[in-house]
Amino acid sequence: MSQVQQPSLSREIHRPRTNWNTYLKRYWTLYLLLALPIAFFVIFRYIPMAYILMAFKKNNIIQPPWFVAWAKNNGFEWFIKAFKDQLFLRSLENTIKLNLLDLICGFPAPILMALVLNELAFKKFKRFTQTVLYLPHFLSWIIISSLALRLLADNDGLVNILYKNATGNKDAVIPFLSSPNWWVGSYIGLGIWKEAGWGTIIYLAALTGISPELYEAAAVDGAGRFRRIWHVTLPGLRPTIIVLLIMRLGYILGSEFDRPLALSNKLVTDASTVISIYVYQKGINGGGQFSLTTAVGLFQSVVGVLFLFGANFLAKRFGERGIM
Amino acid sequence: MKRILALVLALALIATLGITSAFAADEGFVDGKFTETRHITVRLFQRGDNVPETSPFADYIRKGMLEKYNVEVEFSVCGRWDDETDLGNLLAAQNAPDVIYTYAYPTILNYADMGGIIDLAPYIEEYKDLLPNMFNLLGEENVYWDKDPETGKLWALETRLVNNARINTFIRKDWLDKLNMPLPTNKAEFEACLIAFRDNAETLLGADAAKMVPYSTSQDIGWRNNNLTVSFVPDAITDEELYIRGFDDRQQFLPGAKEAMRLLNKWYNEGLVWKDFALYGSGDTTEDDNLKAGFVGAFQHNYDYPYRNGDDSIEANLKRNVGPEAEFVAVDCFENDAGLYRKYLGSTVDRKVCFPTTNDEVLASLLYLDFISSPETILALQTGTEGINHERMEDGAYKMLVVDPTDPNYQASLNNIDFTMTCNGQYLGEYTEASFAYGYAPVDPEVVLNALKVAKNDGRVPKHFSLPAIEAEVGIGSTLSEERDKFLNQAVTAPVEEFDAVYDAGVANYMAIGGEAIMNERAEKIEAATGYKFEK
């Protein structure tokens, strides 16, 4: 109902055409503040987009793409080549696999953590716990990969040394980093360890917006702790969860670079080569196939946008606000 | 709209003209010097925290070029291990230094195809007489090494590799002495040494017995087990076959390489090889730390690897950590089917120098190469200042001194190769041989000389064939190397009974993604040039 009323209201009040000038005059300082960010996006995000053209042209980074001849197959040579390339298909598969697992395991983690933190009664302890949970976020993946090696390596890793001593078997080893399946587990686990704490911030902020009266009312009605979480806290978090989920889905084909690169090793590349690594290898790291890698990047973005719109559409269908 | 279109087309025309502009001789060069000061930028590698462009060596070059040719030299610094990435970025930005170099010829070919590299052939013809030092050092062979026999194009000059030794096997002599074992002279004896190291860990390492690594290697398996690999290659292999199967500079696709890996796999499963080697990437220091701490019995690496880096060398650290008797010595124990300790040595070529099309000072750049190739310059750059970098011995040899890495006189690369662009290896005229072993202070010169001797013993330099560019090699090198390392690591660490399956699948995949295409094209072009018929 409100959706029907709002537009008509705003039209009556603002009447943009006639008031545009006065509006600008009155708030020019605010627009001025906006100028710099807009310039940033135009210069660094929109103008470079013109070079997407490279995906449809012959491989050349020396000359601007508009002077370069079109690639074969009506310009789609590189897309066809990518989808015939075993390595690309494998990295596509790995990207989807790792991102889905990250979504399933990594997405709920900060929510659960925020709920737990929210229930902590002792203020100082809560603050301390929060700080400890945030800290890993500030470590780079390079540092974490070093830590992982010292802790999880087959032979010299601390965990395996302890495990060997505990079992008394010298050959008992958990291949955290050397077997592809275990490696995926380590990858996801380290990701949660690093980012879950930081992810709680936004949920904790949302939690402060839930009226204490709701809790009181629920308590009066006889709801216990879990009932209150279920019927008050979680519904209060729902809009935040949906927004974050939509953004996360837009990233389903996106791939981090430093995380798989730093954590990977030669034994698990079959599981760890994601699209970003493929692009790095084929493109700037000596491969020199810039048109091919631009094509792959474009494909990645298009799928990402489709997922973003799709998720947004679904969210709206289910009565949520969405992000657009 | 039409006017804009016309303008765009006109600009495009001018741009193309600029790129393809024909060769023209430089008019401002009179009596061996430019009448007006010219300015060129030159690539310079940087390693570690070193600031090479402010070193006395950079000053020497800048001063010399200005005085001799009236050319101002500016150095464009980039990290040694980012060089290919950096080169691509700079070329794309039309901002590459005037003189650039890289180790990968296919990379240059790729940029040449894009119109980013100057064809040097006409310039070399025109200015040949002005470049006596360059021709002297590189020789006609290196200068025209990459000249395409069909098109006549010359995209790059091959610089000179003075010392073509590659890889040695090192073993802890003090451990062998302790166990009353002689230096190994064949594979069986070498294996016996490794087994003895493993079984006597308590004697050799005491409380650290659990850290024993009889044989160490890294994820770069091909390089780090090259003596082993080559020992399985039939000695009768022809130069043509070496070339056709030799795109991989680790020699992993020659006949016999699989059996070498099988032996390594066996060693791995018997606990003779460092268990975690595959987990650490290139540049990681864990293995070096193991070597320095004295936990490792044997390894294969660059022919002088344990002696490099002066006071921080593996040998120096080993002596500090373990005792003065501790040492790695180079041994020959990987015999092939002819009973020779065969090694495939590098040819005479090293880095490849080329000029981007943005270089409008071709003559000045060539003169730079000539200046940097003169024996006088090389001597000055390699030996530095007397009393700081070196002292003279009675026989005239140059003994290099230990220089603190924070000192501007410190040479971050062996023999200062980052500065001596056209020359890799000690090049001191009549004093070269005598000086060689002194280049590794504080390591005992005898030990170093032995390593050099062993590395070249029974060496074979694969023949160079002058062929048209191999298109299948462009843009695939790094992908293939990745793939090779991946399957070799998987195969070596696999259980013995799975070795065949993992290895064969890896080779098949390597061939499918580009390895086979290269072999086929090489075979075709060699047949066209020499009539050699290649049979797989």
Which member of A155, A266, A285 has the closest CB to residue B489?
Answer: A266
Does residue B276 belong to the interface with chain A, where contact is any CB pair within 8 Å?
yes
Q: How far apart are CA B347 and CA B164, in angstroms?
A: 6
Contact A62 B94 (CB under 8 A): yes
Q: Is the CB of residue B138 less than 8 Å from the CB of residue B160? A: yes
pLDDT digits (tens, 9 = 90+) for B426-436: 999 888 888 88
Does residue B477 belong to the interface with chain A, where contact is any CB pair within 8 Å?
yes
Q: Is the pLDDT of residue B13 over 60?
A: no
Tell me the nearest-neighbour CA distance from A149 into chain B, angstroms: 8
In this prediction, residue A256 carries a pLDDT of 86
Q: Is the pLDDT of residue B397 over 50?
A: yes
Shortest CA distance from B357: residue in chain A:
A62
Hey, how many other C-beta atoms are within 10 angstroms of the C-beta on B531?
Answer: 8
B51 vs B358, which has greater pLDDT? B358
Q: How far apart are CA B294 and CA B296, in angstroms?
A: 6
Domain that holds residue A295: 75-317
In this prediction, residue A3 carries a pLDDT of 44
High-pLDDT (> 70) share of chain B, %:
95
Does residue A48 belong to the interface with chain B, where contact is any CB pair within 8 Å?
no
B413 Cβ contact partners less than 8 Å away, ≥ 6 residues apart: B45, B47, B80
In this prediction, residue B85 carries a pLDDT of 82
Tens place of pLDDT per residue across chain A (324 aa): 344 444 444 445 555 555 778 888 888 888 889 999 999 999 999 998 999 999 999 999 888 889 999 999 899 999 999 999 989 999 999 999 999 999 999 999 999 999 999 888 888 999 999 999 999 999 999 999 999 999 999 888 999 999 988 988 877 889 999 999 999 999 999 999 999 999 999 999 999 889 889 989 998 988 888 899 999 999 999 989 988 888 888 888 888 899 999 999 999 999 999 999 999 989 888 788 899 999 999 999 999 899 889 888 888 887 777 776
Q: Which chain B residues are closer than 8 Å to A183 by Cβ?
A: none
Q: Is residue A202 part of a domain?
A: yes
Q: Is the CB of residue B455 less than 8 Å from the CB of residue B168? A: yes
Provide the domain count of chain B: 1
pLDDT digits (tens, 9 = 90+) for B39-53: 999 999 988 778 888
Q: Is residue B429 part of a domain?
A: no
Q: Is residue A23 part of a domain?
A: no
Provide the domain count of chain A: 1
CA B377 to chain centre: 22
Q: Is the pLDDT of residue B2 over 60?
A: no
Burial-class residue B17 by CB neighbours within 10 Å (0-12, 13-18, 19+). exposed
Question: Model pTM?
Answer: 0.84
Omega within 30 of 0 (cis) for the link into B442: yes
Contact B278 A266 (CB under 8 A): yes
Q: Is residue A55 part of a domain?
A: no
In this prediction, residue A1 carries a pLDDT of 37
Does residue A265 belong to the interface with chain B, where contact is any CB pair within 8 Å?
yes
Contact A62 B85 (CB under 8 A): no
Q: Which chain A residues are closer than 8 Å to B479 by Cβ?
A: 87, 281-282, 287
Q: How far apart are CA A79 and CA A94, in angstroms?
A: 19
Q: Please provide the distance, in angstroms rounded to a whole number, between the alpha carbons at the two ends of chain B.
A: 61
Q: Which chain A residues are closer than 8 Å to B219 by Cβ?
A: 265-266
Question: How many Å is the Cα radius of gyration of chain A?
Answer: 25
Does residue A267 belong to the interface with chain B, where contact is any CB pair within 8 Å?
yes
Which member of B94, B219, B488 has the closest CB to residue A265?
Answer: B219
Tokens 């086929």: give the residue. B520
Question: How many Å is the Cα radius of gyration of chain B?
Answer: 25
The total number of residues written for chain A in this structure: 324
Q: Is residue B472 part of a domain?
A: yes
Tokens 């016309």: give the residue. B6
Segment B393-398 long-range contacts (CB within 8 Å, at least 24 positions apart): B393/B434, B393/B438, B395/B434, B396/B430, B396/B431, B396/B434, B397/B431, B397/B434, B397/B435, B397/B438, B398/B428, B398/B431, B398/B435, B398/B438, B398/B439
Q: What is the DSSP letter of A231?
A: I
CATH at residue A228: 1.10.3720.10
CATH at residue B241: 3.40.190.10
Q: Is residue B121 part of a domain?
A: no
Contact A67 B110 (CB under 8 A): no
Tell me the nearest-neighbour CA distance from B229 into chain A, angstroms: 20
Q: Is residue B482 part of a domain?
A: yes
* Joined tokens for residue A136: 């890993």
Q: Which chain B residues are closer than 8 Å to A159 by Cβ?
A: none
Q: How far apart are CA B265 and CA B260, in angstroms?
A: 9
pLDDT digits (tens, 9 = 90+) for B300-353: 999 999 998 888 899 999 999 999 999 999 999 999 999 999 999 988 899 999
CA B18 to chain centre: 35
Is A285 strand, coil or helix? coil
Main-chain phi, psi angles of A163, to 5 degrees: -60, -45
Tell me the nearest-neighbour CA distance from A216 into chain B, angstroms: 55
Shortest CA distance from B19: residue in chain A:
A63
B352 Cβ contact partners less than 8 Å away, ≥ 6 residues apart: B101, B102, B103, B104, B105, B108, B146, B156, B157, B158, B159
Q: What is the mean pLDDT of chain B?
A: 91
Q: Is the pLDDT of residue B78 over 60?
A: yes
The 3-class SS string of B152-184 reads CCCCCEEEEECCCCCEEEEEEHHHHHHCCCCCC
Contact A178 B493 (CB under 8 A): yes
Domain that holds residue B232: 167-344+462-530
Q: Is the pLDDT of residue B8 over 90?
A: no
Main-chain phi, psi angles of B343, to 5 degrees: -135, 140
Q: Which chain A residues are closer than 8 Å to B110 by Cβ?
A: 59, 288
Does residue A155 belong to the interface with chain B, where contact is any CB pair within 8 Å?
yes
Tell me the nearest-neighbour CA distance from B92 into chain A, angstroms: 5
Q: Is residue A29 part of a domain?
A: no
Q: Which chain B residues are closer than 8 Å to A282 by Cβ?
A: 475, 479
Q: Is residue A254 part of a domain?
A: yes
Contact A286 B478 (CB under 8 A): yes
